[in-house]
Amino acid sequence: MTPPTEQDKFVAMVTARAEVTLPLSDFQPRSMLTAEEHEIGKARFPVIDYHNHLDATEPDDVLRVMDACGIERIVNITMQTGEAALRMIEKFHSASPERFATIGWMDWSGVEKTDFASVTCDRLERLVERGAQGIKFWKDLGLIVRDGSGELLRIDDERLAPIFDKAAELGIPVMFHTADPDAFFLPIDAHNERYEELAAHPDWGFHGAHYSKQQLLDQRDRVIARHPKTAFVAAHVAECGENLARVTRLLETYPNVSIDISARASELGRQPYSARKLFLRFPDRILFGSDLLPEEHMYRLYFRFLETADEYFEYPSHASRQGRWNIYGLDLPDDVLRMVYRENALRLLR
């Protein structure tokens, strides 16, 4: 028998290694790409983070991060309602009224009653009297909330119309988060690009929901069309970060709507040509937002994404990343950065 050659030994070794099974959760590849890196310690211009959730934080801790990163103000979208919401407004306003603002959370208590819209309008007045700068409708509308007959409440149900009119009367914007990424409406299987995230959080999935994502967005858009005097903010790139053509149509069609980029650098940054085109076309309609707990590294990734032309770097995210990709910087011009970082938010803040 002929002894194995060195090449035979090498092939056998490589073959054996290739047969090793590695759990997907343990696969954490390191990019071999060598590219320029720009660390942005502070944003080029003062920043208003228009979309964050600070209820579980302490103002002094948040202010330290804000000062370190050049964040002028954070808008806390409280997830409290009733008296708890008023206390949350006061918590941050008393700490620093020039550095914090609050958007209220839609209170669905009593939705089964016929006077719900009237009661909600009174609640809105009270929130605004105490300093609230807007009201947010979350994805429970259209997916969970039911009326007195047990029917799923549509986003465009005419019974809610007085609430949107009241927002216009009070001069506050309505923020909509009425869907989620496309992947959340698909089966959690081997073809889902966000499998790892959804496998860890299966309750985030809406596959088989009564209304499809397209139907939910269409309902939202009908509300925007019916209330041209009301200012709307479509959160998370209008929930269409994977489809910027649809975002473009939304902004073209409805001058009363803006979008924020919160928690969607991951989507925008993997399509930098299309994303940059969107920013350059609608610089006065796009708001900076993070939707991540204030932390220096997180903000600096956002600044790197918006201000540099860096290639293939990590995106700001929760502990569990949204998908196995990296992003590219948009290298936005100064006039666009000023509007996105601060000026557009100022127009909405009373």
Contact 234, 227 (CB under 8 A): no
pTM for the full model? Answer: 0.93
CA-CA distance, 49 to 345, in Å (whole number)? 8
pLDDT on residue 341: 98
Per-residue pLDDT of 244-255, as tens digits, reads: 999 999 999 999
In this prediction, residue 23 carries a pLDDT of: 82
pLDDT in tens, 40-69: 999 999 999 999 999 999 999 999 999 999
Nearby residues of 251 by Cβ (< 8 Å), 6 or more positions away? 257, 259, 282, 285
Q: Is the dihedral of CA 291, 296, 297, 299 positive or negative?
A: positive
Average confidence (pLDDT) over 173-195: 96
Percent of the chain's residues with pLDDT above 90: 87
Residue 214 has which token pair? Answer: 């397209």
Q: What is the mean pLDDT of residues 87-116?
A: 98
| Closest of 172, 128, 178 to residue 154, by C-alpha | 178
Question: Is the Cα dihedral 233, 239, 240, 244 positive or negative?
Answer: positive
**Backbone phi, psi, residue 37, to 5°:** -130, 130
Residue 282 CB: number of other CB atoms within 10 A? Answer: 20
Residue 335 to residue 339: CA distance in whole angstroms: 7
What residue ranges define each of the domains in the chain, with the CATH number in brackets? 46-348 (3.20.20.140)
CA atoms within 13 A on the CB side of 210: 13
17 pLDDT exceeds 70?
no
Contacts of 329 (CB under 8 A, 6+ apart): 269, 272, 304, 305, 306, 307, 308, 309, 310, 311, 313
Backbone angles phi, psi at 157, to 5 degrees: -60, 130
CA distance 274 to 277: 5
